[in-house]
Structure 1
């Protein structure tokens, strides 16, 4: 992956798809990278909408669920992704930031025993994280990002930081907290920022959001450990990931056992505050 004349290219010199958006203009001063979710179904629908004048919005890149990348605006031109916004003394972050849209349904609601998006698409439990947004006080469902999507975002974000000397990676919910909730709690902002900016990743610990079964393998078909269920707010350290299942070590003694390691579902974990 490389940047030539402010457009994204593969290492072999072939360009990434470019669908020009009319919703852009003016020279960009490169300071920040802002992450968004589309609150929509697919990359195709996001690109189609953001390349129409009536959208009055755009982004520099759209990253699909499969990790595919489409560019809409050259990296030296302002895209209309931030809206009314402010950050560290700057206002109108369109002038100072590159915007990346990740295809993701965003907040989901529990209706009739199912998780549904605002456009009434139903999502499996394994594709949902129950968590409280940092600007809110109650828990909601959030559509999880795919590994392919996060890997692609990490690669291109690292390239952009190196190419343009960006100062930080932030969310739309950071620069417009009264209006926006993207990229939301399902996006691993702390570790993403640390890796992209080349900083040492702060060690993060998690806790269970409620009573939670811990199993011998990554799935409900595996046996529960004798210590199941773990109590609510049990602190754990994540060792590995398999889809939405997490291999964890428990950081406190449960039933006189101080050496517990097993698999739990990731949507029932939250970062310790």
Structure 2
């Protein structure tokens, strides 16, 4: 692909051949954050630009905060894979994908540096303002693909982004004792939990059965919104944090 003008002024351009057209009338209304999960940022960037990989993102954020644009925002980058959010199954067509250079879980979840996170914040602010993307539509890959994906991981500082005006977040309720629900259980409280997760956007079947899919959705929620303990068990901390999160959405407040 030939060079193009960057949509984000602070980005330099390194074109990836891996992209396609967005469907007619579909505009991005999600910002989807990933970590690269590879040992080196150079290797990750090369992979996103290789025709062999068949993957890409709109943006790549280096560890030192440099931002590279790989695909024009008007084009459909290939980063979400099989995914779901709030009734939508073609997340690639509806999103701006941002890959953040970080080796992730395979390397023991190394910390994201301050310069890198500041760059992510500024990029998300710019995209959100230009494209009119709501805060609750700034998501992690694990949100739209529970079980299958775990990035950007439980060490990603969602709270810091929220303080800076990016994303939807509430202070997590501290982990403590009390009643909890886990895989294999069933009943009305589990149906209520599934309904709340579905209202927020997660892909979950409302059956009253605490299935593997429910466990995966709970773990994905914890990874983003209650990262102190990610175990897929719906304890009171998880449930109350979910209550608070829903109550602060404009459509439910």
Question: Is the CA contact (8 Å cut-off) linking 1:43 and 1:62 kept in structure 2?
Answer: no
Structure 2 residue ranges without an equivalent (≥5): 176-226, 230-236, 239-253
Structure ranking higher in strand proportion: 1
Pairwise CA distance, 1:166: 1.1
- The alignment's TM-score, normalised by the length of structure 2, stands at 0.62
Partner of 1:8: 8
1:132 corresponding residue in structure 2: none
Q: Contact 1:62–1:103 at 8 Å: present in 2 too?
A: yes
How many residues align? The count is: 173
Taking structure 1 as the reference length, the TM-score comes to: 0.57
Aligned mates of 1:48, 1:39 — CA distance in 2: 13
1:69–1:5 distance in 2 versus 1, CA, 3 Å: closer
Structure 1 residue 34, shift from structure 2 partner? 0.3
1:1-273 to 2 correspondence within 5 Å? 7-10=7-10, 16-27=11-22, 29-108=27-106, 117=107, 141-167=108-134, 168-193=137-162, 195-197=164-166, 202-204=170-172, 270=228, 273=238
Q: Distance in 1 between matches of 2:15 and 2:38?
A: 20
Distance in 1 (alpha carbons) for counterparts of 2:151 and 2:105: 9
Deviation at 1:202, TM superposition (A): 3.3
Greater RCO structure (CA 8 Å; 6+ sep): 2
- Decide whether the 8 Å contact of 2:35 with 2:152 is kept in 1: yes
Distance, in Å, in 2 between the alignment partners of 1:76 and 1:6 is 11
SS at match of 1:46: helix
Distance in 1 (alpha carbons) for counterparts of 2:93 and 2:55: 14
| 1:55-80 superposed Cα distances (whole Å, 9 cap, x missing partner) | 11000111111111111001111100
More helix by share: 2
Q: Over the residues paired in the alignment, what is the CA RMSD in angstroms?
A: 2.6
* Distance verdict in 2 for CA 1:77–1:193, change over 3 Å: farther
* Native 8 Å contact 1:61 1:70 kept in 2: yes
Could you tell me how far 1:9 is from its partner in structure 2? 1.5
Mark the CA change 1:172 to 1:193 in structure 2 (over 3 Å): closer, same or farther.
farther
- Unaligned segments of structure 1, at least 5 residues: 11-15, 109-116, 118-140, 208-268
